[in-house]
Amino acid sequence: MGTMSNATVNETTTAPRCPNLPIEVTSIPYTPNTTAQTVTLITIIVNGITCPVATVENLLIFVLVLRNRSLWTVFNTSVLCLAFTDLLIAMFIQPSFIAYQTSKYISSAVACIPYFIKTVFEFWCVGLSFVTLALITLERYFAVFKPFRYRACVTRSRVMCVIVSGWLVWTIFSFSLRFSASGMNLKAYSILSSILISFTLLETVFVYIKLYRITKVKDCSANNNTAQDQMSDVSAQETKAAKTIIIITAAFFLCFAPTLCASIVHQAGAVEDDVMLHVIYPLAESALFLTALINPVIYVWRNASVRESVKEITRYTRERSKTEETVF
């Protein structure tokens, strides 16, 4: 009982909740009505299923790429960085979210450590994904539209250095904001999220339009040698990789849209705080966490070499199982 009382604090008490945390618990007390309990249970079940699946999928991406030297390309290095951010969500954020929701469902209490992890690190992890997607999109732009400069300057180690540097800058900025005087200000977070989203979205749209135009020119220039010479420098494989990142980014925005809409509604004061924090936001966050589940699927679907690697592993597993059955 002593351990449990340290881990959770009943929200109906007047004492400060989770006094040992470096942040104040600002969540509205949880009222276990029918709607809230139903939503809480749904989010627990959904995330309880998607969390381990997303973890296995992203670990599989690492295995597929690292075991096959032919897949050690600049683009796949970028994909591994994105898979790493997805792993952070699936192995770190989602379990804390599940624990936080479970504590509310069982005892209407705040699980202090899960609350801290979810509140402080969720925004950081999601931001890492945005930063990674923005940098990968930029890398794809140079790969497709500046192929000579790209091949001369871009290497796996340099891509890793740029992405890790982006992570470091985002980490410093994110935690500086979080632990500043306005760190718990949802409006500040909403503004920051809007800026980051707008930048990534505009960048993706710009690259998509350029890709569309260059593809259209290629399709319409079958008898135009000059146009064909211009297009010969553009690798079909690099173009397909760029389209893959655009699809992944679009899926990310679709999953993030409920959270963005919920934030706008919350800032407008159109819905009561208890409904926002314990009904709408948990559903929106559950949709956001689906990115860690969807991204590996898109990557495998769009990459023939990775699909072949999956088949090889499947064949090897089946053959090994048959061998073991024969022995026993």
pTM of the full structure = 0.81
Q: Which residues contact 94 (CB under 8 A, 6 or more apart)?
A: 47, 50, 51, 54, 289, 292
Residue range 106-118, pLDDT digits in tens: 988 888 888 888 8
**93 pLDDT band (50/70/90 cuts)?**
very high
Average pLDDT of the residues of the chain: 80
In the predicted structure, residue 88 carries a pLDDT above the cut 90: yes
Q: Give residue 196's region: left, alpha or beta (phi > 0; psi -120 to 50).
A: alpha
In the predicted structure, residue 167 carries a pLDDT above the cut 80: yes
**Class of the CATH-defined domain 31-295:** mainly alpha
Q: What are the b/e assignments for 27-57, b being 16+ CB within 10 Å?
A: bebbeeeeebbebbeebbebbeebbeebbeb
For position 103, what pLDDT does the model report? Answer: 92
Q: What is the mean pLDDT of residues 87-100?
A: 94
Which residue matches tokens 């749904």? 42
Alpha-carbon distance of 29 to 307, in angstroms, equals 48
Alpha-carbon distance of 229 to 214, in angstroms, equals 13
Contact (Cβ atoms closer than 8 angstroms) between residue 43 and residue 283:
yes
Burial of 129 (0-12, 13-18, 19+ CB in 10 A): buried
